[in-house]
Amino acid sequence: MPKFLGNRVGYATSTSSDGGIFNLSSQQIFLKLLGKWDSSLTVSSPVPSTDVASTRQSYIVFNSPGTFTVSGSGYLNYTIVAGGGGGGMGESNYAFTGAGGGGAGGFRSGTVFIGPGTYTATVGAGGIGGVYPPSNLQATSGSPSSISGPFYFTTIESAGGGYGGSYTPARNGSDGGSGGGGSGPASSDNRTFGGDGNTPSVTPPQGNPGGRSSTYAGGGGGGAGGPGMSGNKDVDLPGERMKGGDGGEGRAWGVIAEDLLSGLTLGFQGKNIFAGGGGGGGGYDSNYITYNPNSGTGKNGGGNGGSGLKIIPGTSPVKYGEYGFDASANTGSGGGGGSAGNRGPYDENNSGGNGGSGIIIISHTY
């Protein structure tokens, strides 16, 4: 009789010779399916137990690095999301330029045949958003996520999301799993371009490019499901002038149709969608003094960009900038780009948001 992959995931083991996939990391989440787990087994997870149509699937979720051991051989389904890129730093003293949003981490799903041995799930960290002086830290790309194993197994890796562009220091949006959004003071400046997605190239693509900046408004970071949007320049609508570009859409996880019926509620607001782009930072227009947020919107857990004009209630219009917001953890989404405008009383003004850490989800039929 053939031996199925990990036929002891979801079962109580009784002897040291029992085969299967075993939890070696406290960060893994196990899902009980079809009542196959022994009732005495304690499940340390907030995920509810749910039957999955007529297909028996067991899932393991890695929110941080861990390992799993396989006896026998069989097919493993995987979704691997890398860390999202950090948002760029907005400019306060010259050109009043909003920065690009961070690109989403690479998103890869598929099925692979694996044999016995110990496998390592590496979950990438999110990139750091650019920080205004005195720290003067440059934005960084997200870190890759991967599954690696014995010598006969080919590592599967998703690339980290690209960082968002900035005017100072002069940086384009970076290439990555998805590209970071661009930032620049004028359309002729090459800092306006967003980074390329799906870098390095894989099939099917793991991400999309970042959006281009307009004059003064940052582009949105690319997402696994679509490109980042370009910043707007002269849209004479309330709240739209010098608006940062929205981040690109993310993607739903899963390999087989039953995955989204599994009862797992992961990602931003539990919607099981990952790897959205960060919003671009808003620009500043000296003739536009009515407060309307002009930040780009981060998607699927991506950070919103900063608004280029921040008015404090009860005061005259103040030309403060606003920092980009952090992406949510374990979404692989990009951080928001910092806005244009003066730093004001807070050092964090104009700084970019941090990218979200990645996630790995594996499953097999038992």
Residues 6+ apart with CB under 8 A from 240: 232, 292, 294
pLDDT given at position 313: 56
d(CA 161, CA 266): 20
pLDDT given at position 49: 35
Q: Is the pLDDT of residue 17 over 50?
A: no
Residues 6+ apart with CB under 8 A from 205: 197, 198
Residue percentage of the chain with pLDDT more than 90: 46
Average pLDDT (243-255) is 93
What is the pLDDT confidence band of residue 327, given thresholds at 50, 70 and 90?
very high
Q: Which residues pair with 360 in a beta bridge?
A: 62, 80
pLDDT given at position 156: 97
State the DSSP string of 216-274: SSPPPPPBTTBPPPPPPSS--STTTTTPPPPPPP-EE--SSGGGGGS----SGGG--EE
Q: Is the pLDDT of residue 31 over 90?
A: no
Average pLDDT (21-43) is 31
Residue percentage of the chain with pLDDT more than 70: 71
Average pLDDT (120-124) is 94
pLDDT given at position 339: 87
What is the pLDDT confidence band of residue 234, given thresholds at 50, 70 and 90?
low
**For residue 290, what are the CA distances in angstroms to 237, 239, 279, 337?**
12, 9, 21, 22
Residues 6+ apart with CB under 8 A from 234: 241
Assign 190 to helix, strand or coil.
helix
Q: What integer best gives the mean pLDDT of the chain?
A: 78
What is the pLDDT confidence band of residue 317, given thresholds at 50, 70 and 90?
low
pLDDT given at position 170: 83
117-122, strands of its sheet edge to edge: 22-23, 66-70, 117-122, 145-148, 156-158
Locate 12 and state its tokens: 């109580």
Say if CB 209 and CB 167 are below 8 A apart: no
The 10s digit of each residue's pLDDT in 126-143 is 999 998 766 678 999 999
Q: Is the pLDDT of residue 360 over 60?
A: yes
d(CA 48, CA 239): 42
Other C-beta atoms lying within 10 Å of the C-beta of residue 170: 12
